[in-house]
Each structure stands twice: as structure tokens, then as C-alpha cells.
Amino acid sequence: MSNASVLDLNPSQPAEKPFTPLVRQFLDYLRFEKHFSDYTVKSYGADLLQFAQFLSGEIGRGARAGGATEAPKAPMTPAQVDDAQVKCEPLTIREFLAYLYAQNYTKSTTARKLATLRSFYKFLIRRGMVSVNPLSTIRTPKQEKRLPKCLDLEQVQKLLEAPGDADILSARDKAMLEVLYSSGIRVSELVELEAADLDLQEGVLRVKGKGRKDRLTPIGSQAIKALQRYFELRNSGTGQPITGRVFLNKHGEALSTRSVRRKLDKYLVAAGLDPGISPHTLRHSFATHLLNNGADLRSVQELLGHQSLSTTQIYTHLTTSRMKEAYDAAHPRATAPTIPHPASPTATPSRPFYPAKAG
């Protein structure tokens, strides 16, 4: 397996700071054995590159109180960094956490970096390179519980109408937004859609989810109509069937997730909506609106491609009023008159009420 296989995932990475051999093995394992997406592998690689820089003294550990720094040391070779990673102790991990805290990293980012290190050291233990996990005594910072943003139906309507479909680029953007809201798929799944994954006759998409796990998800008539309009303009009367990636940029190349975000930002301004809305907000809105209209949690879990039901449950907080209505309508005692406490003045017990004795 070539070492370049993972290095090529990040062409912007400086040549003087390559991944160490152990990290390359780990990233290849994630990509080729665990089938993680390229984006996820890049994120793991960036976290491990930062940790390697910390171990080698390039960042963090050379700083002294008062802003002074130690004299620069000779740079460590990749083999020396790997040796430091293998011999890493819990105290070093705590020092790394202190560095992240000093750099004002959020708890969620710190938790993600810790999760990367946990996975890396589990890999090293399975390979027999490390006997004790240095993170076994390290706690992940407690996360703030943030509720997902969700658009209401009127806001969704404004957003979906913003692009129009007069030309091929606006028709493409409308189709993208319609598919995101209609199916609830992730942006990374949207940009990887191929023409062969669409069955517009049946109204179904085949989605390549996390871990390369495919799933089928339906799309509605408005999304189908938007896709048909986009394909009509893209085809330009050639009569040739659409092949390859569904959503292309103006140069005929596959769109990136960043490009989708830029397009969304443009239409948020046009529709007068909160510029803080992300493409993932459409996924949140999809799930919440389904639950509000009677879909069961298991079905929504399947549609979203969540492995754990607990992940899907974050959307239930937005459906409290609907659940309360269902409870009031279904529970036999939900609307029964309140039964007065025996000690209350309105109570008329058949026998005297005696309070319990203390002790």
C-alpha cells in the first residue's frame, strides 16, 4: 500500500511536515479497512499532525512563562516522533490538553482531538506497538448541550425559492437545496451522488453514507422536478444520458462541500435569512419536520443513516408540543379532573386524614 495514498488527501500540507510512518499506517487503515470518508481521514490526519508537532516541540512545549522561548532544538525525524508517540505518557497528554486550552480551543474541538488520539492509540495497541493506552485515565471535557438549529416551513420555502431555475447554475443550486431538504442527506453525501444513484421514476436515492454504508432514501416530487429541470439544461439537447457526478461546477467538475456552503450563503442573503444557517441545518429541519408530522423515530433514524437511535433523539426536543398533544389525546387520565390531596380544604375524605409520624 503506497504511503502517498493518504498524503495525497491533503495536497496543501507542507512537504517539510509529512505524516510519520505510524500515522500513515493508521490513516491507511481508516481509509481502506474502516472505509472512512476522505474528509474524515483528513480531519484525523490534521489532529495527529498537530499532536506530532507538539511532541517534537514545534508548538506549545517550547514556551516559557513571560513569553520567552527555549533555544530552538534540532528538528525531530519522523522516526523520532513515532518513538515519542509510542512512549507517550498520560502527563504528556495532559500537557497537550493544557496547550489546547491556552489556545482557546472549544470543548467540542478538544473532544474531537482526544477522540482521534484514542482511536490512534487503540490502533497501536492492536498492532502490538503500545501496551498501555496513555489516554486511559484522561477524561473527555464535558460538552455543552447545544440544540440544533431548525428552519420553520416558511423559512424553508423562502430558501428553496431563492435560486430560481432560469439557467443551468441556478437550476443546479435549486436542485441541490431541494434534495438536501427532501432527503435529509449530508452535504458530503450530496456532492458524491452519481447519476446512477438516482431513480427519479421511483423517487429514490442511493446514498453512500459514513463508513461506505449505502442506504436508500426517498425524495419528494419537488426535488424530482428540480432535478429534471437541471438535467434538462445540463443535457442541452444532446440527447445523451447524464453520467458521473450529479452536481457539477461551471467547469464541469464535481462540486466540493465548501462550494455548496458558498452557494447556500448566497441564497440566505437573497432570502433574508440568518447567515449562520449551514447546509446541515436543512438536515436538522428535515428530521424535525418529519417528527412533527407523525413520523416515528426509528424511521427517521433510518432515513438519516444514524447508527444509534440516541443520535436521532436530539431532534425530539423540537417536537415536545406534538408529543404533548398526542399524550393528551391518548392517555386515559391526561385530561381527568385533578384529584385533590386529602389534606387540602376541598377534600372530602370518608375518614379523617392523619399525617404520617416522623421517624
Kindly state the DSSP code that residue 178 receives in the 8-state scheme: H
Distance from C-alpha of 281 to C-alpha of 262, rounded to nearest angstrom: 14
| Ordered strands of the 198-199 beta sheet | 198-199, 204-208, 214-218
Radius of gyration of the chain (CA): 27
Reduce the DSSP state of residue 204 to 3 states and report it.
strand
- The residues that are catalytic are 186, 210, 280, 283, 306, 315
Q: Where are the alpha helices (DSSP H) in the chain?
A: 4-7, 21-28, 38-55, 78-86, 90-102, 107-126, 153-161, 168-183, 187-191, 221-235, 257-271, 279-292, 297-304, 309-312, 320-330
Please state, as a whole number, how many other Cβ atoms lie within 10 Å of the Cβ of residue 26.
25
Distance from C-alpha of 200 to C-alpha of 179, rounded to nearest angstrom: 12
Residue-level length of the chain: 359
Reduce the DSSP state of residue 63 to 3 states and report it.
strand
Distance from C-alpha of 25 to C-alpha of 2, rounded to nearest angstrom: 10
Start-to-end CA distance of the chain, whole Å, equals 74
DSSP for 206-225?
Answer: EEE-GGG-EEEEE--HHHHH
Cell numbers 436538522 label which residue? Answer: 284
Measuring CA to CA, which residue among 57, 48, 56, 11 is closest to residue 29? 48
